[in-house]
Chain A
Amino acid sequence: MHMADALVVPAVAGAMYVASTAAAGYSIKKVRLENEPKKIPAMGVMGAFVFAAQMINFTIPGTGSSGHICGGMLLTAMLGPWAGFLTMTGILLIQCLMFADGGLLALGCNIWNMAFYGCFIGGLLIWRPMMKSGATKRKITCASIAACVLTLQMGAFSVTLETLASGITELPFPAFVAVMQPIHLAIGLAEGAVTAAVLCFVHEARPEMLWRLEAEKEGKCSARRTLAVLTAAAAILAGVVSLGASALPDGLEWSMERVAGTAELAASGGAHETAERIQSATALLPDYAFSFSDSALGTTVSGLLGGAVVILLCVAVCWAIRFFRGEKRQS
């Protein structure tokens, strides 16, 4: 579910960065209020654990395939949603930098799709209410599977919305959703089962290590209120993202429209005419023209050829610099 940079435009990426930063800011505030210095190294080690555990494949019964844990729900159950969210943010940043798993520009989207839903929706709306009256194996299993399935479905739906808002794919919305949701339903079930198995083991061996639900009872937000706030936030965000990314001109067109009142400027004058004469004189293939030279594709070919020349020139200069640098070192 890691989104690449190419799947989002800067407007959508920026909006998602703002949303994720707000969630991270609130989480930092909550972790500071908890005032548990021991939690910080625990977050680091748990982050590394989840990262490593994502590379252990578990056999999915009856399918012949294998899957791995996602980690959001596991981190929430062990560290709480706020610390879990920050830890998941760290994991996603390292994955994008070290393993090209998700893009740096799309990091805001990935944090929202994986950490926000996994930690806040899974932790606050499923895990906490279900564990309120005490934890049992059955409750842990139900909560884990329900949280993983629901949060993955929400994450996958967000991926669809963000990609469509960016105008990257021509795939119709219903078709895109029909592709994304069922795949993530199966993945969610598998992840939920593995997460449940791990949490059940922890509950049996060291129950005190699971997120201390008693300490959270004085929480000011009820589940219903949180759900209402999250729904409203999601609706507003979706509206803003879709509006912001609809049919905006690119940066240059926008600037030119502001300055000159038009997106295209006509060039005339002596300098242009001189340049034209020089160009016609120096053109290597003066009589050569594509049948579509006036079209966008024609100018594109011209640009591509020019680019190839510039890049070759750059490569040659860089190699020359390297060569002379090597000679200098040897001497």
Chain B
Amino acid sequence: MTGPGRAIREIHSLEDLAERGTFLCRIHPLAKVLVTIWYLILVMSFGKYDIEGLWGMSIYPVILMILGDISAGEAIRRMRPILLMVCLVGLANPLFDRELLGTFGGMKITSGMLSMVTLFFKTVFAVAAAYILMATTTMEQICYALRKLHVPQILVTVLLLIYRYLVMMLKEADRIMQAYRLRAPGERGIRKDAWGPLAGQMLLRSMDRAQAVYESMTLRGFRGEFFLRGRFVPPRRSAFYGIGWAAILAVFRFLPVFRIVGSVFIS
């Protein structure tokens, strides 16, 4: 996880992206959430050696990133921590799975190498899909879509509340860290004596704030219901977007489209 300051910047940049009002941003959130889930299921359903089939799924992030003006560099930057973990798991594959598949430019290609690369690409595609969803959909819209999917109200409300107070809490954590660094320059982390009082004070203040928040919410008529005002494209277009992508992705999953195109060049 990143530091508080960086996390705040990331949240703001995602919010700015999602509120641009482009065509993709105005698609109904339910269609985008369902397409993302469908895409993830299809990507993860590929076998560990099926790099060729998996390659076909790159079509979704490539098209949406270009049409939605979404930075691929930013998406890749966000992948670094998770890629590290996946690479650690995947690195074992070439060591333990040494079945020779062939040679390429003098280099021996083993099935372990293929499965490692497949794992790597699966991660890249999954993170890119989640990033595209967040760069075109606000958290309020995602919560709205979850309610449409009959996710219990209590869970959606908690999710929305966490998100709403997240920036406030992150700013507080950032201030605490900054004040501590100024008082104790060069020290790595917060020393043992201050663990309890420092985080404990923050926690107590949070609970008091929760009380005040609840009172102001009830005074303003909060009854746990969730409403959303948004300017979406007509439902028919959203449905077309969802069904269209679902069909395209299914075609790329179940038919060797890329192999057919590739066979035109290599016989």
Contact = CB atoms under 8 A, between A and B. Distances in A.
B136 interface: no
B213 interface: yes
Where chain A touches its partner, the secondary structure class is helix
A53 B199 contact: yes
Nearest to A44: B161
B176 A45 contact: no
| Interface-central residue, A100, A103, A289, A319, by most chain B CB under 10 Å | A100
B101 A296 contact: yes
B52 interface: yes
Contacts of A102: 82
Given A44-B165, A104-B40, A53 B119 contact: no
Contacts of A103: 40, 82, 126-127, 130
B203 interface: yes
A86 B154 contact: yes
B227 interface: no
B46 A64 contact: no
Contact of B126 (A4, A252, A289, A297): A4
Interface residues of B, number: 126
A40 B101 contact: no
B210 interface: yes
A166 to B, nearest CB: 9
B81 A100 contact: yes
A32 B153 CA distance: 11
Where chain B touches its partner, the secondary structure class is helix
A169 B133 contact: no
Given A45-B213, A53-B199, A318-B66, A279 B189 contact: no
A9 B45 contact: yes
Contacts of B89: 7, 163, 168-169, 171
Interface string A150-176: 000000000000010001111110010
Contacts of B101: 292, 295-297
A183 to B, nearest CB: 11
A301 B43 contact: no
A286 interface: yes
A198 B162 contact: no
A309 B134 contact: no
B235 interface: no
Given A49-B203, A319-B66, A289 B48 contact: no
Contacts of A113: none
Given A32-B154, A105-B44, A169-B90, A56 B176 contact: yes
Nearest to B15: A98
Nearest to B3: A55
Given A6-B123, A47-B158, A304 B10 contact: no
* In the complex, the 5 A-B pairs of residues with the closest C-beta atoms, listed nearest first: A44-B161, A306-B262, A201-B200, A303-B52, A292-B102
Interface of A: 2, 4-10, 13, 24-25, 28, 31-32, 37-38, 40-49, 51-61, 64-69, 74, 78, 86-87, 89-91, 93-105, 163, 167-172, 175, 193-194, 197-198, 200-202, 205-206, 209, 250-252, 279-280, 282-286, 288-293, 295-307, 309-311, 314-315, 318-319, 321-322
